[in-house]
Amino acid sequence: FENLNLGYYLVDSSVGALCGLGTTSEHIIINEKNSVPKVDKDIVYYDGNGNVIQNVDANNTFVGKTVYYQTTIEVGLGAEDYVLYDKMDNGLTYTEDSLTVKIGDTTLGEKDYSVEFNKDGYTFIITFIRELNDSDVIVVSYEAVLNKNAVTSGTDAQNPVPNKNTATLKYGDENEVSSVVKTY
């Protein structure tokens, strides 16, 4: 800001920080202490021992085959009220009881988050209850099966239409970030 009169100002940041300034000083420096969290959705391939060997943002498969999903959330400094919304196209069916939520090697449970399935058009909604630290990396894993409603073609071979799975992380007051993967 330049050429402001001395006085009282209310400053809001893009990640939801709010501060009031009452000053007669001619020079003020404000450093943002919050950061935007990151969300990354992947289709995962495992080896025979359950170790991840490849993460991709698109794949090809057949109706009846299982697709393994993983959403990674890097918690942002100062951000709070994390809610993960997962939405699959009609060509994918969530595999019941396949959902796991971890921070590092720790599997989270009902004291750490709540989950609602098939609500408001979403496959599931996870609301994090646990206090999150800015160094936390949350990994949400689950499976889905490509079903008979899957889109299997597009306008032509050069422009196939995917079956999408979208992860949207809402946090703070009204902020959100999303990531999409595609199965052909």
- Strand partners of residue 154: 160
Is there a contact between 153 and 159 (Cβ–Cβ < 8 Å)? Answer: no
Predicted model pTM: 0.81
Indicate whether 34 pLDDT > 60.
yes
181 vs 2, which has greater pLDDT?
Answer: 181
What are the start-end ranges of the H helices in 60-136? none
Please state the length of the chain: 184
Show the tokens assigned to 176.
Answer: 């959100």
Asked whether the CA dihedral 162, 163, 168, 174 is positive or negative, the reply is: positive
Cα 104 to its chain centre, rounded Å, is 17
Beta strands 137-146 and 66-74 are antiparallel
Question: How far apart, in whole angstroms, are the C-alpha atoms of residue 183 and residue 145?
Answer: 11
pLDDT of residue 51: 84
pLDDT at 80: 85
Cα 74–chain centre separation: 9
pLDDT in tens, 84-143: 999 999 999 999 999 999 999 999 998 999 999 999 999 999 999 988 998 899 999 999
pLDDT at 27 over 80: no
